Amino acid sequence: MSAFNTKLYQSTQLRQEMRINPRLYQAMELLYMPLLDLQQHLKQEMAENPFLEMSEADDAQEVELKEDVKDEPLGDDVDWEEILLDGFDVGGRRAQHEERDYFEPTPVESHDLHDHLNEQLRLLPLDERQLRLGEEIIGDIDDQGTLSCGLSDVLDGVNTWLDEVRPIALERANALPDEREREEELSTIEELFRPYEMAEVEAMLRVIQSFDPPGVGARDVRESILIQLRQRDAEDTVTYRIVEDHFDALINHRWNDIARALGITPKEVQNAADRISQLDPKPGMKYSADPEHYVIPDLIVEKIDGEYMVFANDTNLPRLRISKAYREVARDKNKFSGENKDFIATKLNSANWMIQAIEQRRQTMLKVMNFIVDRQRDFFERGVQYLKPLTLREVADHIEMHESTVSRVTNQKYCQTPRGVFSLKYFFSSGLSTTSGEDISARGVKDKIKSMVSDEDPKKPLTDQAIVKLLKTDGVNIARRTVAKYRDQLGILPARMRKRV
* CB-CB contact of 154 with 137 (8 Å): yes
Share of the chain above pLDDT 70, in %: 79
Confidence of residue 258 (pLDDT cuts 50, 70, 90): very high
Handedness of CA 60, 64, 70, 72 (dihedral sign): positive
pLDDT tens for 172-223 read 878 888 888 888 877 877 777 888 999 999 999 999 999 999 999 999 999 9
CB count in 10 Å sphere of residue 91: 9
Which whole-number Å values give the CA distances from 350 to 55, 76, 314, 334, 353, in the listed order?
17, 9, 21, 21, 5
Same domain, 305 and 383: yes
Same domain, 137 and 194: yes
Give the pLDDT confidence score for residue 57 in this predicted structure: 47
pLDDT tens for 292-338 read 667 788 899 999 988 999 998 877 777 787 877 777 776 766 666 66
> How many whole angstroms separate alpha carbon 158 and alpha carbon 121?
17
Residue 151 neighbours by CB under 8 Å, 6+ apart = 198, 201, 202, 205
Which whole-number Å values give the CA distances from 240 to 39, 214, 223, 258, 297, in the listed order?
55, 15, 11, 13, 48
* CB-CB contact of 433 with 477 (8 Å): yes
Same domain, 437 and 422: no
Q: Is the pLDDT of residue 92 over 60?
A: no
Q: Choose one of 265, 287, 309: the last residue of a domain.
A: 287
* Domain housing 28: 19-95+295-428
Same domain, 454 and 359: no
Same domain, 153 and 31: no
Q: How many whole angstroms from its chain centre is CA 75?
A: 38
DSSP state of 306: T
Q: What is the dihedral of CA 42, 46, 52, 56, to 10 degrees?
A: 70
Which whole-number Å values give the CA distances from 380 to 374, 383, 385, 390, in the listed order?
10, 6, 11, 15
Residue 403 neighbours by CB under 8 Å, 6+ apart = 87, 392, 393, 396
DSSP state of 429: B
* CB-CB contact of 102 with 379 (8 Å): no
Q: Choose one of 428, 445, 462: the last residue of a domain.
A: 428
Same domain, 325 and 393: yes
Q: How many whole angstroms from its chain centre is CA 418?
A: 25
Give the pLDDT confidence score for residue 72 in this predicted structure: 41
Strand-pair category, 299-304 with 414-417: parallel
Which amino acid is it at 347? K
Give the pLDDT confidence score for residue 230 in this predicted structure: 94
Q: Is the residue at 106 inside a domain?
A: no
Helices (H), 74-150: 80-85, 113-122, 128-139
Q: Is the residue at 33 inside a domain?
A: yes
Confidence of residue 90 (pLDDT cuts 50, 70, 90): very low
Same domain, 168 and 186: yes
Give the pLDDT confidence score for residue 104 in this predicted structure: 47
Q: How many whole angstroms from its chain centre is CA 478?
A: 32
Give the pLDDT confidence score for residue 271 in this predicted structure: 92
CB count in 10 Å sphere of residue 36: 17
Q: Is the pLDDT of residue 478 over 60?
A: yes
Q: Is the residue at 12 inside a domain?
A: no
Same domain, 138 and 201: yes
Which whole-number Å values give the CA distances from 7 to 4, 10, 12, 13, in the listed order?
9, 10, 17, 19
Rounded to the nearest 10 degrees, the angle between the axes of helix 22-32 and helix 403-410 is 50
Q: How many domains does the chain have?
A: 4
Q: Please count the CA atoms within 13 angstroms of the CA of 311 that sit on its side-chain side.
A: 12
Handedness of CA 397, 398, 402, 404 (dihedral sign): negative
Which whole-number Å values give the CA distances from 61 to 53, 56, 354, 432, 437, in the listed order?
11, 10, 12, 47, 50
Q: DSSP 3-state assignment of 469?
A: helix
Q: Which of 57-66, 128-137, 141-150, 269-278 has the lowest mean pLDDT?
A: 57-66
Please compute the mean of the pLDDT values over residues 480-496 and round it to a whole number. Answer: 88
Give the pLDDT confidence score for residue 438 in this predicted structure: 61
Same domain, 415 and 443: no
Q: Choose one of 428, 445, 461: the last residue of a domain.
A: 428
Same domain, 268 and 326: no
> How many whole angstroms separate alpha carbon 198 and alpha carbon 204?
10
> How many whole angstroms separate alpha carbon 246 and alpha carbon 31?
55
Q: Is the residue at 336 inside a domain?
A: yes
Same domain, 165 and 238: no
Q: Is the residue at 466 inside a domain?
A: yes
Q: Is the residue at 448 inside a domain?
A: yes
- CATH code, 472: 1.10.10.60
Same domain, 74 and 199: no
417: β partners: 420
Rounded to the nearest 10 degrees, the angle between the axes of helix 255-262 and helix 266-277 is 110
DSSP state of 413: -
Q: Is the residue at 485 inside a domain?
A: yes
